[in-house]
Amino acid sequence: DFPPEDSDYHNYDELTDVVDQVVADHPDLALKTSAGTSHEGRDLIAVKLSANVETDEAEPEVLFTHSQHAREHLTVEMAVYLLETLTDGYGSDARITELLDGREIWILPNVNPDGSEYDIETGSYRSWRKNRQPNEGSSAIGTDLNRNWAYNWGCCGGSSGDPSSITYRGSAGESATEVNQVADFVRGRVVDGEQQITAAIDFHTYSELILWPYGYTYGDVAPGMTQDDYDTHAELGRLMADGNGYTPQQSSDLYITDGSINDWLWADQGIFSYTYEMYPGSESEGGFYPPDDVIGRETERNHDSVLDLIDYADCPYRIIGEEQ
Ligand SMILES: NS(=O)(=O)N[C@@H](Cc1ccccc1)C(=O)O
Ligand SMILES: [Ca+2]
Ligand SMILES: [Zn+2]
Give residue-wise pLDDT tens across range 302-321.
Answer: 999 999 999 999 999 999 99
**For residue 13, is pLDDT > 80?**
yes
Distance (Å) of CA 191 to CA 35, 51, 104: 17, 20, 14
Torsion of CA 305, 311, 315, 319, to 10 degrees: -50
Active site residue 277: yes
**Pocket residues for ligand 1 (CB within 6 Å)?**
69, 72, 146, 204, 211, 215, 251, 254, 257, 260, 262, 275, 277
Ligand nearest the Cα of residue 69 is 3
> What average pLDDT does the structure give for the chain?
98
Catalytic residue among 98, 277, 298, 300: 277
Nearest atom of ligand 1 to the alpha carbon of 254: 13
Ligand 1 mutation target, pool 260, 263, 273, most atoms within 8 A of CB: 260
Binned at pLDDT 50, 70 and 90, residue 324 comes out as low
Tell me what the mean pLDDT of segment 67-81 comes to: 99
Which candidate, 182, 227, 253, places its Cα nearest to that of 322? 227
Binned at pLDDT 50, 70 and 90, residue 322 comes out as confident
Rounded to 5 degrees, φ, ψ at 140 are -80, 135
- pLDDT tens track for 238-294: 999 999 999 999 999 999 999 999 999 999 999 999 999 999 999 999 999 999 999
Residue 161 Cα to ligand 3 midpoint, Å, equals: 18
Residue 160 Cα to ligand 2 midpoint, Å, equals: 42
Ligand 1 mutation target, pool 116, 233, 254, 289, most atoms within 8 A of CB: 254
The Cβ of residue 36 has, within 10 Å, a number of other Cβ atoms equal to: 15
What gap in Å lies between CA 22 and CA 92, rounded to an integer?
17
Nearest atom of ligand 1 to the alpha carbon of 146: 15
* pLDDT for the residue 200: 99
